[in-house]
Structure 1
Amino acid sequence: MEFFHALTNGASHGVLHEWTGEGFEHTPWRDVVRDAHGMAAELRALGVGPGTRVAAILTNTPDTVRGLLAVWLAGGAVASLPLPTRGQSQEAYGEQLVALSARLDPTLLLVDDWLTAMVPAELGKELPVHGWSALRGGGRIEPSPPGRDDLAFIQYSSGSTSTPKGCALTTRAIEQQLQIILHLTGGRPGADTVASWLPLSHDMGMFGCLLYSWAYDFDFVLSSPDRFGMAPRTWFRDMSEYGATMTAGTSTAVYLAARAQGRGALPKELKLRAAVIGAERVDWDTLAAATEKFRPFGLSDTAFQPAYGMAEATLAVTGKPWAQAPRALAFDGPALVEGSVIEVAPDHPKAARLVSNGVMLPGVSVRAGSGGGISEILVSSPSLAGGYYADPVRTAARFQDGWLRTGDLGFVRDDELYVLGRADDMLSVGGRKVYASEIESAVDSLKNVRKGCAVVVDAGDSGMSRLVLMVEPQGNPKDFQPIAEEAASLALEKAGVALAECLFLARGVLPKTPSGKIQRFRCRALLDEGRLVPVARVTFA
């Protein structure tokens, strides 16, 4: 596949269905390309050309889709800046934009018109800032997109564990990743339909949905994170209405979508063949319940595809083959913490059930858990980034001799990858190691806790551990004590540790990335700074 030729193919028959806030607009890909050519002429006049970088805040809007291609046609590389995260102040976001722009040294910054107010005045003085609407020209230039080994895209990591890092991707890396996704999902060029609400600022939304659909001439149904957040049922409803065969999302999103399906809102028919689920720990009970709920409407037992990936690999690294059912195994939880992999019966009192993240995808190699143990996951892939843009220190720490040090812990069993969590998320309590994700996953299952809204941090000092659980409660409980006690009991049962305190926070307070992952390092910082005001606090003796 030649990436830019695939995007601008005049013989394309695919259609882009874009949510505009009131309904869907339907535009053939070839008309999207025509619009992008006009925008490219405007960009060239503004100084964009080969070797330049254009910073952009990519939202799920028609102008963003066209502007993305326009930057490439003009010869520039796109640097996708992070969107404001949940709980992030305008001041903090502005400071982040200033810091990232200083490192990028871009020719200009492109944003939606409504986002211009978020750009700090000091940045606007140094860097031309334009709304996408200002690029609606009608000129024509000779396209000069980045070459196969040229920088084409800078994908900033989600920022769930640290400040965002800019993954430098060549055209070749993007091409390789799109072919990997085609294999993962069993895609049929020119014959499939993809539906997505994922943010285009995130690798799953950009590469796994938009560019995958565009390059292989699929119909693409583009909704938005805001619409999904307001009405999760729209995800499966859109797939039913447009006959979507492929989609992608998170385990939490599947839970919310299944729960939101009222009797009158159930889909008429689902043709879904491949639903790639990643970006966070995959919950087996969520997939099983959703499969059961939607089976009468055509959802197959093989549709959900747990997968593993990261921005540093462009996207996908491993995944469940599309024609096979998901798989989960039970392991001795305490043994996992100690670094040993011991399979046990599902009803074992200390069982930790892990969902397989599938097999290595074509051309990808993974090293993890040699000798039956657990280790950091190392990845080699033809779609690996060249490093972090203008960040040699963090590049040297993570990219070594053709391998990426992911910072994740896991192991391979029967050629399938099992991911335990981030090495940075390991807690040390009384000389013992504890997976924070094990506690959070257990608490997440409580009916009085909002799905995906539980995080545990060590707020101790002077070498003394003090585990604090922060949750957003479901609904408006009158008594928080029983919920806290149940959570503390689960922490003791699953990880053998005692919680010091449980903080109940208002809905939307926990900082999250645009894809929905909790930003643990920001949670700890906000707690230390006294900026988290709980609606209730339960302290354990």
Structure 2
Amino acid sequence: MQLWNALTNGSSHGTLHVWAGEDFEHTPWRDVAADAHGMAAALRTAGVRPGTRVATILTNTPATVRGLLAIWLAGGAVASLPLPTRGQSTEEYGRQLTALCARLDPALLLVDDWIAPMIPEELARELPVRPWTPDGLPAPSGPFEPSPPGPDDLAFIQYSSGSTSTPKGCALTTRSVEEQMRIILHLTGGRPGNDTVTSWLPLSHDMGMFGCLLYAWSYDFDFVLSTPDRFGMAPRTWFRDMSEYGSTMTAGTSTAVYLAARAQGRAELPRGLASLRAAVIGAERVDWDTLAAATEKFRPYGLSDTAFQPAYGMAEATLAVTGKPWAQAPRSAVFDGSALVDGTVTEVDPAHPRATRLVSNGLALPGVSVDTGTPGTVAEIVVGSPSLARGYYGDPERTAARFPDGRLRTGDLGFTHDGELYVVGRADDMLSIGGRKIYASEIESAVDTHAQVRKGCVAVVDAGTAGLPRLVLMLEPQGRPRDFRPIADHAAAVALEKSGVALSECLFLPRGVLPKTPSGKIQRFRCRALLDEGRFDPLARVTFA
């Protein structure tokens, strides 16, 4: 197949640069492929054959990159299980892995050494648990002939981040992945054999896997792979790496852009960012002020006004659905927030008391259809795409509900304005308080701008019982505030102004406590569960009469 030919082409010129703890490890793609062939022979001996599934927990290591290709060469389908998330206990994580593996029935489970102790004993007794390194696998038992999945065979099971529910396994064929590679090439203006992609995103997330690793691999780009931990400790490293390697493409979240720009400070980027053509920004609501401030921060280093590229995608569509044309500047528009909640699209002046600025997620990509219902109204976004998953693995009920007639009901709410897609929020984000509907994300985004609130660390849940609403806002403060009351009062005023609802309580949590996916999305359903179970130990509580 085209995909496997690209990934195993011995004449490729690109290089893989992987962060190995102290520095980057540099290996030509052709040598990565040769290593993967050796590991594939060992996997075949371990029972991986065409039609089998291999459960994996993907991390950003050199061994993981090689092992990923090795599974395909041996004929297996890769099942990417979730990494442990913030706020998740070892016992919870173990139960999640056990449930997912019971549905998958995999041939084995490949993990890093640091994850192995989290595997429940009962699961390890039923399923061989192996390290990613070849020395953890049996020696090859004979000649090896690669037999990767065919065009319509299952190639990858992408488990969703679990930001709104328990993880779902999106079943992707080789054809779906190949189509997505072509879509991303169009989105970013890619030049096969002549680009450099840089990423710190986890390979367990669709943006990191398909948007960066497989994209770079497929088109023989140089690929600079850092880690989420390194970015978290030093956000400045993202743009520094791009400057050092002359990167032309990257991907990340709006929150990550904010953190990187803030961390840059007065540090220099001697080699500049003039080569950066496409920085795809997605996975969460994109903030216009963040893009504007980051563009201003990095413009002296050569960053163009067109580099940031807001996009919309879903794991169920492999990845990208819409995106800003790479040569155009990002766009935004201002709407009546209250009208959006009521399902009506009304553009207003920025000075309007209920003004809400939304960033355009761009145009439908080649071969993709995006349906947002009647013009001028907010509706569920329905997608058709050549890279659509064929459903959720082992879950026919969810598949029937979300994939009717070969299209995807995304669960996201949005509208089309001047031909471009604007995403308002998820249907799951809509709360009904006293008969009034509100978007939790609208309040969260507004509170997020406060100087004493950590960016991307705000969640609103309805903790009411017996039909009585109780709106609780949870946040992680920035720094060490001496008085939490002014921050809480500001949040309450924002909730009243933006959505016309009153907060019942503001909960201030220690740094790193709010449950998040590895890509940084708040897991609101787990916030509610942890709150109900009394498992938060807050720094402070502020209640409102």
- When the two structures are superposed, what TM-score results if normalisation uses the length of structure 2? 0.98
In structure 2, the residue matched to 1:467 is: 471
Match among 356, 360, 364 for residue 364 of structure 2: 360
Q: Structure 2 vs 1, CA of residues 136 and 238 (structure 1 numbering), >3 Å: closer, same or farther?
A: farther
For the residues of structure 2 that align with 1:409 and 1:440, how far apart are their CA atoms?
17
Give 1:448 deviation, angstroms: 0.4
For the residues of structure 1 that align with 2:113 and 2:32, how far apart are their CA atoms?
20
For the residues of structure 2 that align with 1:137 and 1:536, how far apart are their CA atoms?
57
Match among 206, 211, 215 for residue 214 of structure 2: 211
Match among 186, 190, 209 for residue 193 of structure 2: 190
Q: Does 1:242 align with 2:250?
A: no
For the residues of structure 1 that align with 2:69 and 2:343, how far apart are their CA atoms?
47
For the residues of structure 2 that align with 1:417 and 1:331, how far apart are their CA atoms?
14
Give 1:132 deviation, angstroms: 1.2
Q: How does 1:408-447 map to 2 (within 5 A)?
A: 408-447=412-451
Structure 2, unaligned stretches of length 5 or more? none
Give 1:57 deviation, angstroms: 0.5
Q: Does 1:482 align with 2:483?
A: no
For the residues of structure 2 that align with 1:298 and 1:256, how far apart are their CA atoms?
19
Deviating more after overlay: 347-356 vs 206-215: 347-356
In structure 2, the residue matched to 1:256 is: 259
Q: Is the 8 A contact 1:38 1:136 kept in 2?
A: no
In structure 2, the residue matched to 1:494 is: 498
For the residues of structure 2 that align with 1:501 and 1:86, how far apart are their CA atoms?
23
Give 1:414 deviation, angstroms: 1.3
How many residues are aligned here? 541
In structure 1, the residue matched to 2:153 is: 150
Q: Residue 263 of structure 1 aligns to a residue in which SS?
A: coil
Match among 520, 527, 533 for residue 531 of structure 2: 527
Q: Structure 2 vs 1, CA of residues 490 and 44 (structure 1 numbering), >3 Å: closer, same or farther?
A: same
In structure 2, the residue matched to 1:56 is: 56
- When the two structures are superposed, what TM-score results if normalisation uses the length of structure 1? 0.99
Post-superposition CA distance 1:354-401 (Å, at most 9, x none) = 000000000000111413111100000000000000001111110100
Q: Is the 8 A contact 1:18 1:25 kept in 2?
A: yes
Match among 306, 326, 329 for residue 310 of structure 2: 306
For the residues of structure 2 that align with 1:303 and 1:107, how far apart are their CA atoms?
43
Alpha-carbon RMSD across the aligned residues, in angstroms, is 1.1
Give 1:10 deviation, angstroms: 1.3
Q: Is the 8 A contact 2:375 2:415 kept in 1?
A: no
Match among 317, 326, 334 for residue 338 of structure 2: 334
Post-superposition CA distance 1:86-121 (Å, at most 9, x none) = 111111100000000000000000011221111110
Q: How does 1:18-97 map to 2 (within 5 A)?
A: 18-97=18-97
AA aligned opposite 1:261: Q
For the residues of structure 2 that align with 1:265 and 1:529, how far apart are their CA atoms?
47
For the residues of structure 2 that align with 1:167 and 1:443, how far apart are their CA atoms?
33
For the residues of structure 1 that align with 2:88 and 2:179, how far apart are their CA atoms?
35
Identity over aligned pairs, percent = 79
AA aligned opposite 2:203: L
Give 1:264 deviation, angstroms: 2.9
Q: Is the 8 A contact 2:463 2:471 kept in 1?
A: yes
Post-superposition CA distance 1:192-224 (Å, at most 9, x none) = 000000000000000000000000000000000
For the residues of structure 2 that align with 1:137 and 1:264, how far apart are their CA atoms?
49
Q: How does 1:75-224 map to 2 (within 5 A)?
A: 75-133=75-133, 134-135=136-137, 141-224=144-227
Q: Residue 267 of structure 2 aligns to a residue in which SS?
A: helix
AA aligned opposite 2:219: Y
For the residues of structure 1 that align with 2:449 and 2:319, how far apart are their CA atoms?
28
Q: Residue 18 of structure 1 aligns to a residue in which SS?
A: strand
For the residues of structure 2 that align with 1:34 and 1:212, how far apart are their CA atoms?
19
AA aligned opposite 1:168: A
Q: Is the 8 A contact 2:46 2:138 kept in 1?
A: no
Q: Is the 8 A contact 1:39 1:136 kept in 2?
A: no
Q: Residue 375 of structure 2 aligns to a residue in which SS?
A: helix
Q: Is the 8 A contact 1:305 1:326 kept in 2?
A: yes
Deviating more after overlay: 249-258 vs 262-271: 262-271
For the residues of structure 2 that align with 1:312 and 1:51, how far apart are their CA atoms?
21
For the residues of structure 2 that align with 1:360 and 1:288, how far apart are their CA atoms?
24
Post-superposition CA distance 1:27-67 (Å, at most 9, x none) = 00000000000000100000100010000000000000000
Post-superposition CA distance 1:409-433 (Å, at most 9, x none) = 0001111000010101101112111
In structure 2, the residue matched to 1:17 is: 17
Match among 316, 331, 352 for residue 348 of structure 1: 352
For the residues of structure 2 that align with 1:419 and 1:132, how far apart are their CA atoms?
39
Q: Residue 113 of structure 1 aligns to a residue in which SS?
A: coil
For the residues of structure 1 that align with 2:389 and 2:147, how far apart are their CA atoms?
22
Post-superposition CA distance 1:439-497 (Å, at most 9, x none) = 00000000000000001000111111111000000001010000000111111111111
Q: Is the 8 A contact 1:38 1:137 kept in 2?
A: no
Q: Residue 516 of structure 1 aligns to a residue in which SS?
A: coil
AA aligned opposite 1:54: V
Q: Is the 8 A contact 1:18 1:222 kept in 2?
A: yes
AA aligned opposite 2:366: P
Give 1:262 deviation, angstroms: 2.6
Post-superposition CA distance 1:150-202 (Å, at most 9, x none) = 00000000100000000000000000000000000000000000000000000
For the residues of structure 2 that align with 1:380 and 1:416, how far apart are their CA atoms?
16
